[in-house]
Amino acid sequence: MTKEEVEAIAHLARLHLEPDEIERMRGELAAILEHFGALAAADTEGVAPMTHAVPMDLRLRPDVVAPSLPVQDAVGGAPEKAGELFVVPAVIT
Amino acid sequence: MIEWLGVGETARRIASGETRAIDVTEAFLARIAALDGKVGAYLAVAGDTARMQAEGIDRMRANNVPLPALAGVPIALKDVLVTRGLATTAASKILAGWIPPYDATVVEKLHAAGAIVLGKLNCDEFAMGSSTENSAYHKTHNPWDLARVPGGSSGGSSAAVAAGLCAASLGTDTGGSIRQPAALCGVVGVKPTYGRVSRHGVVAFASSLDQVGPLARTVGDAALVLETIAGFDPRDSTSLDAPVPKYRDALVGDIRGLRVGLPHEYFAADLDADVRAALERTKQALADRGAELIEIALPHTHLALPAYYLVAPAEASSNLARYDGVRYGARAEAGSLIEMYERSRGAGFGAEVKRRIMLGTYALRSGYYDQYYKKAQQVRALIKRDFDKAFQHVDVILTPTTPAPAFPFGAKSSPLDMYLADVFTLSCNLAGLPGASVPCGLTPGGLPIGAQLLGKALDEPTLLRAAAAIEAAVGLGDARPRGLPS
């Protein structure tokens, strides 16, 4: 796995990695993926992928308003807030 | 000593008036203050609120208000269960100082049952690991040998129960995180059927695999706690709408005619000799009590590890996207929004969490989905089919919980070595089945060994009945961890 490949995945994951972390990740991810090569050999022709542990349909609930978290509680843990709003760095500059 | 009475007996004594709830809570708080410096099970002790809850139970009793099932029983929680007003970190720096505004459903249920919440327990960061060494805060030591790990990820939950620092605890199990630490610390751990216990308010790791369950010193205590936390929850879209049996009623002691499956894939040549010997004694004890031992095959077992380590990190990479420095937790200052995300996550997550986010993102990215994630889900279906076939012939499956007893700190030097510690517990989560680990003896050196039982979906009663038989025949009895005063 190349340094550029690791950097591209890290960016997709929105994860800053230091240069030594990138180097370590190259080796570790390659070793793990190599070990997972056994999967490729498994015969899965015609097998439907199992997305959940038990078969289930999405449940619908009646379309009525129910109590939910008060806004002040919901924003209470934010590192930066203004009244009822989360504050983030400027998106458009 | 009050700290060793267990869940059922403590509840009985408080209900009968033999003991006050506040005295029980004070005894546990004193033991935590005296010993947790050595064990390191707790991340936070909620002494003041625990005392208030205990005094409330004593007032109820004084006023002749009927007491609920767990009234006055001190229980502690893995720190991935959110608790209103009590810091919840998932053992990660990225959530340092976060005070949740609500309780997880399982926490609400414990409160409603009168249980006392003693505090929050250490674990691997975001429940990712098998030794609790991945906690961003501190190590947890195995009470049976303080130089060894307690297992993980629910290592604080298993160590606290083993050391008598709570009557029982809750953990979570995504690939063995209740059963493996239970085995390494000589306690009982139950991973319920997927959907049996609500995940509302559980810090999510891999949503199709995560399940909450009890750790306790006896099968009866684990059954009692499971009865309290199980049940349908409209706030969890994967919750099963099925009645909750009285699990304690299943502990009848009679296992005559019980068909116990033995999958040869779990007894390979490289199995630790002490573990193998303990399992042989367990098999013999079950046969002596009238169970029928049946050889079975689970031919896709060798693919469980790669399938798990693709499915779980893929789901984790999605679930952990929410830790971005906006709504909760730590934020790193940066000029742009994207850079703020990247820096906050880079500074807040530890090495194993980053590794799994990277692995999951790799597996899910455009163009690789069929090769990795879809393939792993197909293999997952094959693993489930293996179990469906086996359960046509057997009622419960017996295996070792772990390939070896507790290992020393730092012994697993590569990520893959650590992943292999879970090799026997992963299939159960992939298939959504209930599983349990029950102590089945000690090594000559005095380390606990766990027997794993796997059951049919929603057949926790049979699982617990078999576990109780093992406990009675080859369990640890009154043996207590060395290295700690009893």
A27 touches chain B (CB under 8 A): no
B129-164: b or e for each residue (b if 16 or more CB lie within 10 Å)? bbbbbbbbbebbbbbbbbebbbbbbbbbbbbbbbbb
Where in chain B are the domains?
2-254
A64 touches chain B (CB under 8 A): no
Q: Are B176 and B215 in contact (CB under 8 A)?
A: no
Give the confidence band of A56 by pLDDT, cuts at 50, 70, 90. confident
pLDDT digits (tens, 9 = 90+) for B371-387: 999 999 999 999 999 99
CB contact under 8 A, B354 and A79: no
pLDDT digits (tens, 9 = 90+) for B252-301: 989 999 999 999 999 998 999 999 999 999 999 999 999 999 999 999 99
Q: Measured between CA atoms, how close is B371 to chain A, in angstroms?
A: 8
ipTM of the complex, rounded to two decimals: 0.95
Where in chain A are the domains?
3-41
Q: What is the pLDDT of residue B376?
A: 96
Residues whose CB falls within 8 Å of the CB of residue B460, separated by 6 or more in sequence, listed in order: B190, B192, B193, B196, B226, B245, B247, B250, B434
Q: Where are the beta strands (DSSP E) in B183-330?
A: 188-191, 212-216, 259-263, 292-296
A38 touches chain B (CB under 8 A): yes
A76 exposure class (CB count in 10 Å sphere: 0-12, 13-18, 19+): middle
Q: ∠ at Cα B33 (B85, B176), nearest 5°?
A: 65
Q: What is the pLDDT of residue A57?
A: 75
Residues whose CB falls within 8 Å of the CB of residue B400, separated by 6 or more in sequence, listed in order: B266, B267, B271, B275, B276, B278, B279, B424, B449, B450, B451, B452
Q: What is the pLDDT of residue A38?
A: 87
Q: How many CB atoms lie within 10 A of CB A56?
A: 14
Q: What is the pLDDT of residue A35?
A: 86
A65 touches chain B (CB under 8 A): no
For residue B50, which of B18, B80, B27 has the smallest C-alpha distance? B27
SS3 B483: coil
Rounded CA gap, B422 and B266, in Å?
A: 12
Measured between beta carbons, the chain B residues lying within 8 angstroms of A89 are 334-337, 339-340
Q: ∠ at Cα B332 (A89, B325), nearest 5°?
A: 70
Helix, strand, coil shares of chain A as percentages rounded to 5? Answer: 40, 5, 55
Rounded CA gap, B269 and B272, in Å?
A: 9
Q: What is the pLDDT of residue B327?
A: 94
Q: Are B211 and B194 in contact (CB under 8 A)?
A: yes
Q: How many CB atoms lie within 10 A of CB B97?
A: 12
Measured between beta carbons, the chain A residues lying within 8 angstroms of B372 are 36, 39
Rounded CA gap, A27 and B328, in Å?
A: 33
Active-site residue flag, B78: yes
CB contact under 8 A, B378 and A47: yes
Active-site residue flag, B208: no
Q: Measured between CA atoms, how close is A78 to chain B, in angstroms?
A: 4
List B135, B154, B158, B177, catalytic entry: B177
Q: What are the φ/ψ torsions at residue B276 (nearest 5 degrees)?
A: -60, -45
Q: What is the pLDDT of residue B483?
A: 75
Q: Is the pLDDT of residue B366 over 90?
A: no
Q: What is the pLDDT of residue A36?
A: 85
Pairing state of beta strands B212-216 and B259-263? unpaired
Q: Does domain A3-41 have CATH number 1.10.20?
A: yes
Q: Which of A13, A16, A38 sits opposite B317 (nearest CB)?
A: A13
Q: Round the average pLDDT of chain B to a whole number and report it.
A: 97
Strand order in the sheet with B212-216: B42-45, B116-121, B74-78, B168-172, B212-216, B188-191, B435-442, B448-455, B396-400, B259-263, B292-296
**CA Rg value for chain A:** 22
Give the confidence band of B485 by pLDDT, cuts at 50, 70, 90. confident
Active-site residue flag, B139: no
Q: What is the pLDDT of residue A54?
A: 77
CB contact under 8 A, A89 and B310: no
B373 conformational bin, left if phi > 0, alpha if psi -120 to 50, beta if neither = alpha
Q: Are B156 and B397 in contact (CB under 8 A)?
A: no
Measured between beta carbons, the chain A residues lying within 8 angstroms of B365 are 9, 12
Chain A interface mutation, best of B88, B318, B358, highest count of A Cβ atoms under 10 Å: B358
Q: Measured between CA atoms, how close is B330 to chain A, in angstroms?
A: 7
Measured between beta carbons, the chain B residues lying within 8 angstroms of A14 are 321, 324, 338, 341-342, 345
List B130, B131, B135, B153, catalytic entry: B153
pLDDT average, residue stretch B162-166:
98
Q: ∠ at Cα B436 (B430, B438), nearest 5°?
A: 150
The three state secondary structure string of B366-429 is CCCCHHHHHHHHHHHHHHHHHHHHHCCCCCEEEEECCCCCCCECCCCCCHHHHHHHHCCCHHHH
For chain B, the first-to-last Cα distance in angstroms comes to: 8
Give the confidence band of A92 by pLDDT, cuts at 50, 70, 90. confident
Q: Which of A14, A32, A77 sits opposite B338 (nearest CB)?
A: A14
pLDDT digits (tens, 9 = 90+) for B101-134: 999 999 999 999 999 999 999 999 999 999 999 9
Rounded CA gap, B263 and B283, in Å?
A: 12
**A4 membership: H or E segment, kind and range:** helix A3-12
Question: Which residues does residue B188 pair with via DSSP β-bridges, in sequence order?
Answer: B216
Measured between beta carbons, the chain A residues lying within 8 angstroms of B196 are none
Sign (positive or negative) of CA dihedral A36, A41, A42, A47: positive
**Which residue is closest to A32 within chain B, CA to CA?**
B416
Rounded CA gap, A33 and A18, in Å?
A: 22
CB contact under 8 A, A33 and B362: yes
Give the confidence band of A51 by pLDDT, cuts at 50, 70, 90. confident
pLDDT digits (tens, 9 = 90+) for B143-157: 999 999 999 999 999
Q: What is the pLDDT of residue A82?
A: 95
Of all residues in chain A, the percent with pLDDT exceeding 70 is: 99
For residue B397, which of B451, B454, B438 has the smallest C-alpha distance? B454
Give the confidence band of B486 by pLDDT, cuts at 50, 70, 90. confident
Q: Which of A6, A31, A79 sits opposite B325 (nearest CB)?
A: A79
Residues whose CB falls within 8 Å of the CB of residue B260, separated by 6 or more in sequence, listed in order: B283, B286, B291, B292, B293, B294, B394, B395, B396, B397, B398, B466
A92 touches chain B (CB under 8 A): no
Q: Measured between CA atoms, how close is A47 to chain B, in angstroms?
A: 6
Q: Which of B194, B358, B430 sits opposite A13 (nearest CB)?
A: B358
CB contact under 8 A, A88 and B340: yes
Rounded CA gap, B136 and B437, in Å?
A: 27
Question: Which residues does residue A85 pair with via DSSP β-bridges, in sequence order?
Answer: A82
CB contact under 8 A, B346 and A36: no
Q: Is the pLDDT of residue A55 over 80?
A: no
Peptide bond into B158 cis (omega under 30): no
Q: Measured between CA atoms, how close is A59 to chain B, in angstroms?
A: 7
Q: What is the DSSP letter of A57?
A: P
Q: What is the pLDDT of residue B212?
A: 98
pTM over 0.95: yes
Q: Which of A16, A36, A77 sits opposite B310 (nearest CB)?
A: A36
Give the confidence band of B36 by pLDDT, cuts at 50, 70, 90. very high
Measured between beta carbons, the chain A residues lying within 8 angstroms of B237 are 58-59
Superfamily of B2-254 according to CATH: Amidase signature (AS) domain (3.90.1300.10)
Q: What is the pLDDT of residue B138?
A: 98
**Which residue is closest to A58 within chain B, CA to CA?**
B237
Helix, strand, coil shares of chain B as percentages rounded to 5? Answer: 45, 15, 45
Q: What are the φ/ψ torsions at residue B168 (nearest 5 degrees)?
A: -160, 165
CB contact under 8 A, B431 and A53: yes
**Which residue is closest to A11 within chain B, CA to CA?**
B342
Q: What is the DSSP letter of B249?
A: G
- How many angstroms from the chain centroid is the CA of residue B317? 22
**Which residue is closest to B343 within chain A, CA to CA?**
A16
